[in-house]
Structure 1
Amino acid sequence: MAVPKKKTSKSKRDSRKAVWKRKAAVHAQRAISLGKSILSGKNDGFVYPLAEEAETEE
């Protein structure tokens, strides 16, 4: 016979939500940092074709 599940406590719910939000904040910060480094030209870990190189290859 089906038995109702126990209610999750507010602290456990809030803890899970905080972990999810912390992960999202870390990824957002990394994306902003990568974008800034690409714009400044100081990027080392991200490779992308430059506009001049793309035009000369065609």
Structure 2
Amino acid sequence: MIKGLVFCFAFLVAQLLVLHYIDGRFQSNSKDARQVTTTTTVIQRDEETEDQDAQS
């Protein structure tokens, strides 16, 4: 029975190590994807609107 518990515990530790390794690989990739770029929007006015504003 003790042999079975030791085997289960060793298997659990091995699974946790593998999952920790996989998680680390995914986190390093997601850091690259998290780079945020800011954009500014430029509002272009129609020439007709500018002409009307100039006449007023």
The TM tier, using the shorter chain, reads 0.5 to 0.7
Normalized per residue, the structure richer in helix is 2
What residue in structure 2 maps to residue 9 of structure 1? Answer: 3
What residue in structure 2 maps to residue 30 of structure 1? Answer: 24
Q: CA RMSD in A?
A: 1.8
What residue in structure 2 maps to residue 5 of structure 1? Answer: none
What residue in structure 1 maps to residue 33 of structure 2? Answer: 39
Q: Which of these two proteins has the greater Rg computed from alpha carbons?
A: 2
Gapped regions of structure 2 (runs ≥ 5): 37-56
Higher RCO (CA-CA < 8 Å; seq separation 6+): 1
What residue in structure 1 maps to residue 13 of structure 2? Answer: 19
Moved over 4 A (4+): none
Gapped regions of structure 1 (runs ≥ 5): 1-7, 43-58
Q: Number of residues paired by the alignment?
A: 35
Paired with 1:19 and 1:26, the residues of 2 have a C-alpha distance of: 10
